[in-house]
Amino acid sequence: MTGSAAHKPGTAPDRLTISSLNAASGLRHAFFGRGGGVSEGLYSSLNCGFGSGDDAAKVARNRELAMSGIELETERLVTAYQVHSNAVARVDRPWRREDAPKVDAMVTKEPGLALGILTADCVPILLADQEARVIGAAHAGWRGALNGISEAVVSAMTELGARREAIAAGIGPAIGQRSYEVGPEFPEPFLKQAASNSDFFRDAPRAGHFFFDIKSYVARQLGATGVGGVQVLPCDTCAEESRFFSYRRSCHRGETGYGRGLSAIALKP
DSSP 138-166: EEE-HHHHHTTHHHHHHHHHHHTT--GGG
Could you read off the pLDDT of 35-75 as tens digits, one per residue? Answer: 999 999 999 999 999 999 999 999 999 999 999 999 999 99
Q: Of 131, 87, 86, 127, which is closest to residue 108 (Cα–Cα)?
A: 127
d(CA 227, CA 168): 7
d(CA 215, CA 128): 19
All structural domains of the chain, each given as residue ranges with its CATH number in brackets, are: 2-176+213-267 (3.60.140.10)
Report the predicted TM-score, pTM, of the whole model to 2 decimal places. Answer: 0.96
- The pLDDT of residue 35: 97
- The pLDDT of residue 229: 96
Could you read off the pLDDT of 25-41 as tens digits, one per residue? Answer: 899 999 999 999 999 99
- The pLDDT of residue 10: 52
List own/partner pairs for 80-83 with CB under 8 A and 24 or more apart: 80/104, 80/105, 80/106, 80/139, 82/117, 82/118, 82/139
The stretches in the chain having pLDDT less than 70 are 1-11
Q: Is the dihedral of CA 264, 89, 98, 95 positive or negative?
A: positive
Q: Residue 121 corresponds to which amino acid?
A: D
Average model confidence (pLDDT) across the chain = 95
